[in-house]
Structure 1
């Protein structure tokens, strides 16, 4: 079973990620208080603990997941191109449409040498999502990934 491991948001464009135990996810704001949560294909970003660890192992570093600057961290899954169009359901209410891959950027390289390249293969950087249904999510909520 997949579960929600962590939630975070940023309030400023180059600001630090702020981890939270729970958050509202809305159609208009994505993860509550996130500066980039406006409606669109990249409203919420999701990554997996498994793929993050693969990237960190590749560069021999034990980095906090917040370094990636994603909104949501789940466990026990590996994203791929086959996931585009699938729906991530978190808890009882929140549904996110997977719209594409979250491409690693230069900020990753600035955070740690080699991190950008380590996140590039096999969708390790996670996925971008659009909010389909809103609600409250919290750490340890069950997560499902299914076809629409």
Structure 2
């Protein structure tokens, strides 16, 4: 099953401004270049290095509450389309030529979502609609438009 990378976003500090980019490097130790969440802390597991959200899930959640909001307001790093990548910890997401991400857990929506628009947290809650978190297991350069493939991991 092949999909496509539709967007890349990063933020350099908690609650900092979101920057969307067309391409960047993703490393095992640092995650997305320029994103504060990617650095693995000493003794840490890096379970939250990269966050992903499916376009269909974001569209459904915002439609449910009757608003149009840019996907990056979710503060996710990667917007993906055309794949079923969530609801299974241990799934491996391959983006572009080299990058491999291991899905570690659901990205539960926080109360900040209701600061963006009332009801958004609830709309993002069912069925991993809020996205997934991942750890980088193979580094790589990614670009908007890159193909995405799914593997099932052995974690």
TM range (shorter): over 0.9
In the alignment, is the contact (CA less than 8 A) between 2:102 and 2:137 conserved in 1? yes
1:99-121 CA distance string (max 9 Å, x none):
01001001100010100000000
More moved, 70-79 vs 45-54:
70-79
How many residues are treated as equivalent by the alignment?
A: 147
Q: Structure 2 unaligned runs (5+)?
A: 41-45
In the alignment, is the contact (CA less than 8 A) between 1:79 and 1:126 conserved in 2? no
1:51-70 superposed matches below 5 A = 51-70=57-76
Measured in 2, the distance between the counterparts of 1:78 and 1:111 equals: 26
Q: Structure 1 unaligned runs (5+)?
A: none
Measured in 2, the distance between the counterparts of 1:11 and 1:80 equals: 26
1:105-144 superposed matches below 5 A = 105-144=110-149
In the alignment, is the contact (CA less than 8 A) between 2:85 and 2:93 conserved in 1? no
**CA 1:118 to 1:8, structure 2 compared with 1: closer, same or farther past 3 Å?**
same
SS in 2 for 1:122: helix
Task: Kindly report the root-mean-square deviation, in angstroms, between the aligned alpha carbons of the 2 structures.
Answer: 1.0
Runs of 4+ in 1 over 6 A off after TM superposition: none
